[in-house]
Chains A and B, each alone.
Chain A
Amino acid sequence: EPEVTQTPSHQVTQMGQEVILRCVPISNHLYFYWYRQILGQKVEFLVSFYNNEISEKSEIFDDQFSVERPDGSNFTLKIRSTKLEDSAMYFCASRKTGLGEKLFFGSGTQLSVL
C-alpha cells in the first residue's frame, strides 16, 4: 500500500528556534493535512491544503505556523519560533479527494522543544 513519508522521525530544538517538518504525501493525492497530538491527548487538526493554498485552518494554526508545497512532492510545516507547548507528535496526512475518502497518515515527527 502507498505510504505518506515524514522526516525526521524525531526533532529536538531549543525554544525560540525555527523548525521545518517534512512530508511526502502519496503521489496522486490532492488534499494534504497536518495534525498534531500532544502526549496523552487527542489528535488535533491544524491545517488542510488543496490546490496550492490553505483550505482550512484551526485556531492552533496561528502566525507562527506556515505550510508550503515547494515542489510537486514535498509538503512542509514550519514553526517560526517554537514554544514549549509546541512539543507534540506531528502527523502529515493526505487523501485523494476531500469528503469521505480514506485519510492516510504518515508515521509522525516527534517534536521536543526544550
Chain B
Amino acid sequence: QKEVEQNSGPLSVPEGAIASLNCTYSDRGSQSFFWYRQYSGKSPELIMSIYSNGDKEDGRFTAQLNKASQYVSLLIRDSQPSDSATYLCAVNREYGNKLVFGAGTILRVKS
C-alpha cells in the first residue's frame, strides 16, 4: 500500500469552475497535511497546510481533512489557467519529521 495516494489525472476543468483534488494516506497517526503546487521543472510551492479535521480556507483554496477516513482534499474555486500544474499532497507521519509526498495530480484549466 502506498503511503500517500493521489489520482494522477489529468483533471481538466473549464476556467471559472471548481477543481477538486483528493488524497488518501495510510499512516493513521499522521499529524500534518500539506498541499503543494509544482510547475514543470520547478520546485514544490506550499499552498495550504491543515492539521485538524474540517475545512480550512485561504482565498480561492479550501483544504479539507477527515482523519477517520484518512482523506485530505483541496478545492480550488474560480480556477484560472495559471492554476494548471501538478498538485502534490504531502503528509508528516507520526514519527520522524520527513514529509512523504504523493505522486501528484495534474490539473489542466482550459480557457
Spell out A's residues near B (CB within 8 Å): 31, 33, 35, 41-45, 48, 50, 55-56, 89, 91, 98-100, 102-103, 105-108
Q: Does B46 contact A (CB under 8 A)?
A: yes
State the Cβ distance, A54 to closest chain B Cβ, in Å: 12
Contact: A98 with B100, CB < 8 Å? no
Closest B residue by C-beta to A102: B46
Instruction: From known contacts A105-B44, A107-B42, infer whether A98 and B101 are also in contact, taking CB-CB under 8 Å.
Output: no
State the Cβ distance, A29 to closest chain B Cβ, in Å: 12
Contact: B43 with A42, CB < 8 Å? no
Closest A residue by C-beta to B101: A43
10 closest A-B pairs by CB: A98-B97, A105-B43, A100-B32, A42-B103, A43-B101, A45-B98, A56-B96, A108-B43, A107-B43, A105-B44
Spell out B's residues near A (CB within 8 Å): 31-32, 34, 38, 41-46, 49, 51, 88, 90, 92, 96-104
11 A-B pairs within 8 Å (CB atoms) are namely: A42-B102, A42-B104, A43-B44, A45-B99, A55-B97, A56-B98, A103-B90, A105-B43, A106-B43, A107-B42, A108-B43
Closest A residue by C-beta to B97: A98
Contact: B43 with A45, CB < 8 Å? no
Once the chains are docked, how many angstroms separate the CA of A105 from the CA of B96?
19
Select A91's contact among B43, B46, B102, B104, beta carbons within 8 Å. B43
Query: Among the interface residues A48, A98, A105, which one has the most CB atoms of the partner chain B within 10 A?
Result: A105
Residues of B within 8 A of A102 (CB): 34, 46, 49
Query: Among the interface residues A33, A50, A100, A107, which one has the most CB atoms of the partner chain B within 10 A?
Result: A100
Contact: B31 with A100, CB < 8 Å? yes
